[in-house]
Structure formats: C-alpha cells, structure tokens
C-alpha cells in the first residue's frame, strides 16, 4: 500500500468506527519544537531523567528537580500546537474522534482546541503541596523559585514542598487510567500517534481495542497488532487526512468542511 492508499484506508476506518480513541506520545509534539524522549536533543541527552524526574529523589532531595529539571519542563509551556494537534481537534468537533489520551505534559491538545483529553502523565499548569495537597499555578511556583525558595514550600504551619502536577518516574498514574482502559475496550478503533509504546502501563492500551492504527516514525512495541501502520511525520499524515476527509464532504454535511 502506498502512502495515499494508507491515508484513504485511515479515513475509511475513522468513518466506519462508532467510537474512536487516539493515544498520543512525545512524537506528536516534535513538529512543535519539543524533542521526544529518546531522539536527538531529547530529555535523556540533557539530564539523567531517572534521577531528576524521579518520584523517590523528589521526596528526599527536591532541590535536584528544582535546580536541574524545572527549567526544562518550563520550556515546554511556550510551544504551539502543530497540524497534527489541530486536525485532531477538528476530528473531535466533527464527531470522528471521541477523546485523546496523551502521555504528553505539554498541553498542546487543549491549546489546539481538543476538549476530551486524558492527560495520563499530568500537565504543567499547576503544582501541589506533597503534604496537604494545596495547589498553586505554575506561574506561582516559578515566582517562589525565582525568589530563591528552593525547594518552594507551602507557607504557614504546613511547610510541605510543592511538586508539579505531572507524573514523575515511580509515581502511579491517575485513576482516570481505568476510565481510559474502559473507553478503549468499548472503541472500534485506537489510533496511536508518535509513541514508541515503551512506557508502561500506557502501552497496555493497544491490547484492549478492536482495531489499531499506528502513525509513528520508527518501530513501536505494538506494530504486529496494527491493521494499519503509517511511518511518516504526524503533521504530514494529519494534513493529508484532513484533505481526504474534506474531499469526502459527506462527513461534514452541514458545513462541507472540517471544524
């Protein structure tokens, strides 16, 4: 099958599926200038993530994250969504995608306009006190750090350390993970975009769906299960898909176009 036939097959699968979920990973955001985990320039190459982003290290030595890791996460907050994020939001509005499950913490699906987003690894909008749960905004966290509070602490009697509301290595996933498992097992189609599927337990989700499509540069752990594998840049695939769906105007009887 050539690339045009593959995009056409993806459009068919989306049209036939009554419920479609999309699982995204770091690869969907590389075209927004955020390096993925393992690629050149990725986080692995800058710091030792198993130390700097370790839940255990954070408990005993939170200053390691605040001195070496926080600015790396903060840099993700300035990125803008790319074509893949935008088309996914359009597909949700058009009723062709039910929800996005993301491993990313960059918030780009919401910035692009997606509404139903499971952020399985959390986000960079806030931080919470690890002692009492008191929450502050990311900007509030940055203010404390810039004022020299390392680690930043909740005031008053509490004095608990603030931790960003994203999942560190060794943290458990939010309870919404079980909602994702249920939704994927009820779906006709799961589309994986830009993930090596090496991170557990998210890589369990492809086992649960009836039909699996993978859009990823490079191999993934679930390639053998996929009814369709598209090895190309996510932005190009979704731009082409959007074109095909617009040509097949019957998906959008009211406006004749996406969105």
Catalytic sites, residue numbers: 121
Identify the residue among 95, 170, 218, 249 touching ligand NAD (CB under 6 A): 218
How many residues sit in the footprint of ligand NAD (CB under 6 A)? 28
- Looking at the Cβ atoms of 46 and 248, the one nearer to ligand NAD is 46
Is residue 114 close enough to count as binding ligand NAD by CB under 6 A?
no
Q: Is 177 an interacting residue with respect to ligand NAD (CB under 6 A)?
A: no
Q: Quickly list H helices, the chain.
A: 3-16, 43-46, 49-52, 55-60, 62-68, 70-76, 83-93, 108-112, 138-146, 176-185, 234-247
Q: Are 222 and 55 in contact (CB under 8 A)?
A: no
Pick from 196, 206, 209, 242 the residue near ligand NAD by CB under 6 A: 196
Cα-based distances in Å from 65 to 11, 203, 225 = 43, 26, 38
**CB closer to ligand NAD, 114 vs 216:** 216
Quick note: the x/- pattern for ligand NAD over 52-91, rule CB under 6 A, is ------------------------x---------------
Q: For ligand NAD, which residue of 20, 57, 103, 110 counts as binding (CB under 6 A)?
A: 103
Q: d(Cα 148, Cα 160) in Å, to the nearest integer?
A: 16
Residue 176 CB, shortest distance to ligand NAD, in Å, is 15
142 binds ligand NAD (CB under 6 A): no
When computed from its CA atoms, the radius of gyration of the chain, rounded to whole angstroms, is 19
Q: Are 199 and 222 in contact (CB under 8 A)?
A: no
Interacting residues with ligand NAD (CB under 6 A) = 25-27, 29-31, 34, 36-39, 43, 76, 103-106, 121, 194-196, 198-199, 216-218, 233-234
């Amino acid at each position: 099958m050539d690339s045009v036939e593959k995009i056409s097959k993806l459009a068919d699968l989306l049209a036939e599926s009554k419920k479609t979920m999309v699982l995204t990973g770091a690869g969907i955001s590389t075209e927004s200038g955020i390096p993925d985990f393992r690629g050149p320039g990725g986080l692995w190459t800058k710091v030792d993530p198993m130390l700097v982003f370790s839940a255990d290290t954070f408990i005993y030595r939170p200053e390691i994250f605040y001195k070496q890791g926080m600015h790396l996460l903060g840099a993700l907050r300035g990125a803008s969504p790319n074509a893949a994020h935008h088309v996914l939001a359009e597909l949700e509005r058009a009723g062709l995608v039910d929800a996005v499950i993301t491993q990313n913490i960059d918030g780009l699906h919401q910035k692009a306009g997606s509404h139903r987003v499971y952020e399985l690894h959390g986000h960079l909008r806030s931080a919470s006190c690890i002692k009492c749960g008191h929450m502050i905004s990311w900007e509030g966290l940055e203010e404390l750090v810039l004022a020299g509070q390392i680690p930043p602490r909740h005031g008053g009697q509490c004095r608990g350390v603030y931790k960003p509301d994203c999942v560190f290595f060794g943290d458990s996933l939010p309870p919404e993970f079980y909602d994702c498992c249920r939704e994927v097992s009820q779906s006709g189609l799961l589309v994986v975009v830009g993930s090596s599927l090496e991170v557990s337990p998210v890589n369990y989700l492809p086992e649960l769906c009836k039909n699996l499509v993978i859009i990823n540069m490079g191999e993934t752990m679930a390639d053998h299960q996929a009814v369709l594998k598209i090895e190309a840049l996510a932005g190009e695939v979704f731009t082409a898909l959007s074109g095909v769906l617009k040509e097949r105007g019957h998906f959008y009887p009211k406006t004749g176009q996406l969105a």
